[in-house]
Amino acid sequence: MKNAGSKSSFLIKILTVFNLFTLIIQLYSMGALGGTSSFPLLAFAVPVLTVFNLIFFIFWTLRLSRSAFLFIGMLFLSYEELGLLYQLENKGIATAEGLKIMSYNVRSFNRYQWLKDKAVAEEIENFVESHELDVICFQEFALTEAPKLASFPYQVFKPYTPKGAIGTCIVSKYPLMNTQAIAFENSQNGGMQVDILWKGDTLRVYNLHLESFRLDQNDTLLSSNYSEKLRKKLNTVVEIQKKQVATFNLQTSQHSYPEIICADLNNNAFSAPYQTLKKDRIDSFTEQGSGLGATYSFLMLPLRIDFIFNSPDLKVTDFNTYRVKLSDHKPISAKLTKKF
């Protein structure tokens, strides 16, 4: 009996050390220890690490073990960073006033028949028409497949590549001016900017689509060969994304308007591209969002890779993530008002 007790005690000590290690990895991956992770895969793994460590916490709690305080310590050290992953509900009643803007990667309106549904463009049009939107920023907008969106009289499309048929598009119920394309060097992705006249004010709106990872089912960690391939692919794309954000930030420093950025970052909130783009801006999800806010799923891993940012002179009064399956991305919307 004494020998069995010793073995059990030793196993518990091993589990405690292992749990401490996974908690430190989570803190590092979230940037709670300073800076951002140098390993892109860890940033993507934050949801998995959180669930894994939560299971450990439940295990320690059921055993009435002091090791449960390890998880509580992690919560204390990373309270702000955890808000990028999950937001509690009930943040007050949303006001009816404000500019309601949506960001939506529509995956070319099912141009290549990813979905069996043949009427995706029409269904997307019906969906956006039902939500009383003022402005919509589309990514992967295919001109040949796009619906008319007749209730939005002002529409501007900018292709990702010269003379291309797929790109970003902004549609609006308010006049659009000063429209410009945002081109990224050696990339099939890009963006655009417009100025919107809204209630006597000029707002600068950006619509961005950063470099894609183009992951497929072969990108896995289950074999050393594919694991190395995935690691290299992630590192290469993140470096491209960082350069794209740096280029964009230089462009945005040349105006003084209140700004809104709708973006498919192809990366999550614990990545270097996100941190550099957010800078002094506000992530509308952290102001009025709820739950995980996941907008994309890869191998059942929920990822928040679509964002609406705004400058501090605008106030977020509402935020929604819509559970509609008309693309591989979920649309998001925010309602904003100007601070006085």
Map 47-101 to HEC letters.
HHHHHHHHHHHHHHHHCCCCCHHHHHHHHHHCHHHHCCCCECCCCCCCCCCCEEE
Q: What is the DSSP string of 107-124?
A: HHHHTT--SS-S-HHHHH
Regarding whether 302 and 187 lie in a shared domain, the answer is: yes
Domain housing 148: 99-338
Regarding whether 143 and 28 lie in a shared domain, the answer is: no
**Residue 260, strand partner residues:** 205, 310
The predicted model scores a pTM of 0.92
**Which CATH number characterizes residue 109's domain?**
3.60.10.10
Nearest-angstrom CA–CA distance, 69 and 109: 49
SS3 letters across 14-60: HHHHHHHHHHHHHHHHHCCCCCCCCCHHHHHCHHHHHHHHHHHHHHH
Tokens 């460590």 found at: 53
Does residue 89 fall inside a structural domain? no
Q: Which distant-in-sequence residues (6+ apart) come within 8 Å of 113 by Cβ?
A: none
Structure tokens at 26: 């989570």
What pLDDT is recorded for position 299? 74
Nearest-angstrom CA–CA distance, 128 and 137: 11
Residue 1 has pLDDT above 80, yes or no: no
Regarding whether 250 and 110 lie in a shared domain, the answer is: yes
In the chain, % of residues over pLDDT 70: 92
Other Cβ atoms closer than 10 A to 136: 27
Residue 121 has pLDDT above 60, yes or no: yes
Name the pLDDT band for 2 (thresholds 50, 70, 90).
low
What pLDDT is recorded for position 41? 86
**Residue 2, strand partner residues:** none
Does residue 270 fall inside a structural domain? yes
Nearest-angstrom CA–CA distance, 14 and 258: 53
Regarding whether 133 and 10 lie in a shared domain, the answer is: no
Residue 110 has pLDDT above 80, yes or no: yes
